[in-house]
């Protein structure tokens, strides 16, 4: 779905123990990101020794770097106006019935695109059943959610607004709310100029999807490596990458996002502990009703994984090292030696990239006719 360009070497940063590189790469305003590349070239800082051409070739066959710009989603050409509107909607708590829960409440763009709790807390402080995945690079996933039940970001965005445990609203109230504020009416008109009645629930979802195409992080050391910078990974990370490929992690976690493309049983070889894979959540079974899909989940995308603890759909594992060991046991049956798991863990840190610069949007002021927040 994308062509990898051997473009400029990206600015990369040295990895220090226990903290991912989130440093000096130039950032772009997300509103402008549809036209401008999210990164510009910079001098590469060598992190490690030059990797062998074989390792690079093996990696290039399995993974692709994040492109500087995401492709337009099907049926939703991205424009600067749509991104501006989508960003407003993403940060606006008034899409929820309580008036306070926005997309950013659970997918905090300053914190890896997540909420950092085991399972999300939504309307009325209710706990949802699953951990919030990151919105960063979600545009590259083949389908959305842990079980892939939404086909794209447009379909996805309608879910949380209506979910009782998330934003607990109705499409009608959202439309009434947005139509009541002149600032939103103007922004919808600019984003959907051909339409006679542009303020709609569908267009809300399209605008949010357009904004989400800017939530991409192309500047990880691993991207620099895939683009040909043989020194972008430390020696340990190179060894971890080799293990990640040779042990079989990459048979499920591959492509641009190292995952997000296909579904697999969670527990191919050994069922994970009940706390990690709670019996009540049978994954894709709920979507397809097929026995074969019991405890089947989407291979989780691993981009920026070091920044998105806790792990798994249950959110019960806090340390990335433990997640690696659990995967080795559950999916491969090969108990990884501690030093192997540690090297894979260090490699996963090379998937952490600087986030795009996102200016907090100014949200339209309410009108007298704007529905009042409901209790909860
Ligand atoms: C109350 C917390 C909460 C709110 C509010 C919320 N989300 Fe989510 N989001 C989640 C959880 C939990 C999941 C995973 C659900 C699942 O897989 O069943 C999720 C999944 C997603 C995904 C799928 C990512 C992937 O890799 O599959 C995207 C994209 C997303 N949300 C965007 C949004 C947008 C846009 C909004 C605002 C319209 C929003 N979310 C509001 C908690 C929330
Ligand atoms: C057979 C396919 C398969 C293999 C092999 C596999 N995984 Fe996974 N991986 C998955 C699935 C499916 C999930 C989602 C599990 C869930 O529902 O919580 C996942 C989740 C993860 C997570 C948690 C992601 C998150 O956002 O919480 C990490 C980390 C991970 N895998 C790393 C690895 C590593 C490292 C290896 C090799 C040792 C590996 N995986 C091997 C399919 C696989």
Instruction: List domains and CATH numbers for the chain.
Output: 30-69+218-349 (1.10.760.10), 80-212 (1.10.760.10)
Ligand 1 neighbour 307 (Cβ under 6 A):
no
pLDDT tier at 60 (50, 70, 90 boundaries)? very high
pTM of the model: 0.89
Share of the chain above pLDDT 70, in %: 88
CA-96 nearest atom, ligand 1: 5
* DSSP letters for 241-279: HHHHHHTTHHHHS-BTTTSSS-EEETTSSSPPPTTTS-T
The predicted pLDDT at position 6 comes to: 34
Please say if the pLDDT value at position 42 is more than 70: no
The model's pLDDT over 174-215, given as tens digits with 9 standing for 90+, comes to: 999 999 999 999 999 999 999 999 999 999 999 999 999 999
Cα 79 from Cα 281, distance rounded (Å): 38
Reply yes or no on whether 166 is catalytic: yes
The predicted pLDDT at position 30 comes to: 40
Q: Which of 253, 267, 314 to mutate to test the pocket of ligand 2 (most atoms within 8 A of CB)?
A: 253
The predicted pLDDT at position 16 comes to: 33
Nearest CA to ligand 2 atom 20: 300
Exactly one of 24, 54, 81, 166 is catalytic; name it: 166
Highest mean pLDDT among 186-190, 272-276, 331-335 belongs to 186-190
Please say if the pLDDT value at position 167 is more than 60: yes
**Cβ pair 186, 32 in contact under 8 A:** no
Distance 113 CA to ligand 2 centre (A): 19
Please say if the pLDDT value at position 164 is more than 60: yes
For the chain, give the longest Cα–Cα distance: 66
**Cβ pair 184, 366 in contact under 8 A:** no
Ligand 1 neighbour 174 (Cβ under 6 A):
no
Q: Which segments of 215-262 does DSSP mark as H helices, in order?
A: 221-226, 235-246, 249-252
Cα 170 from Cα 355, distance rounded (Å): 32
Distance of CA 345 to the CA centre of its chain: 19
The model's pLDDT over 85-111, given as tens digits with 9 standing for 90+, comes to: 999 999 999 999 999 999 999 999 999
Please say if the pLDDT value at position 350 is more than 90: yes
């Amino acid at each position: 779905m994308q062509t990898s360009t051997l473009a400029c070497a990206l600015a990369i940063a040295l990895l220090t123990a226990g903290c991912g590189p989130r440093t000096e790469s130039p950032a772009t305003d997300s509103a402008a990101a549809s036209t401008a590349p999210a990164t510009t070239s910079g001098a590469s800082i060598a992190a490690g020794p030059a990797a062998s051409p074989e390792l690079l070739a093996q990696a290039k066959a399995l993974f692709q770097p994040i492109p500087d710009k995401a492709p337009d989603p099907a049926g939703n050409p991205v424009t600067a106006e749509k991104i501006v509107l989508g960003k407003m909607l993403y940060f606006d708590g008034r899409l929820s019935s309580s008036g306070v829960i926005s997309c950013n409440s659970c997918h905090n763009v300053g914190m890896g695109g997540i909420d950092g709790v085991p399972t999300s807390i939504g309307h009325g402080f209710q706990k949802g059943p699953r951990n919030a995945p990151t919105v960063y690079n979600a545009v590259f996933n083949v389908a959305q959610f842990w079980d892939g039940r939404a086909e794209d970001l447009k379909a996805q965005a309608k879910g949380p607004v209506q979910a009782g445990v998330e934003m607990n609203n109705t499409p009608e109230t959202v439309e009434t709310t947005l139509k009541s504020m002149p600032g939103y009416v103007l922004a919808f008109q600019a984003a959907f100029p051909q339409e006679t009645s542009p303020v709609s629930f569908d267009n809300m979802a399209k605008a949010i999807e357009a904004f989400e195409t800017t939530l991409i992080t192309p500047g990880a050391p691993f991207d620099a490596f895939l683009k040909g910078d043989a020194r972008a990974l430390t020696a340990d990370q190179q060894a971890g990458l080799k293990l990640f490929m040779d042990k079989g992690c990459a048979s499920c976690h591959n492509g641009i996002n190292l995952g997000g493309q296909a579904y697999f049983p969670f527990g191919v070889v050994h069922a994970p502990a009940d706390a990690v894979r709670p019996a009540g959540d049978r994954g894709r079974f709920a979507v397809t009703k097929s026995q074969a899909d019991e405890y089947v989940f989407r291979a989780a995308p691993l981009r920026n994984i070091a920044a998105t603890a806790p792990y798994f759909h249950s959110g019960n594992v806090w340390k990335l090292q433990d997640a690696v060991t659990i995967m080795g046991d559950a999916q491969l049956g090969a108990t990884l030696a501690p030093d192997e798991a540690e090297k894979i863990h260090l490699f996963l840190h090379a998937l952490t990239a600087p986030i795009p610069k996102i200016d907090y949007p100014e949200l339209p002021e309410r009108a007298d006719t704007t529905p009042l927040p409901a209790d909860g």
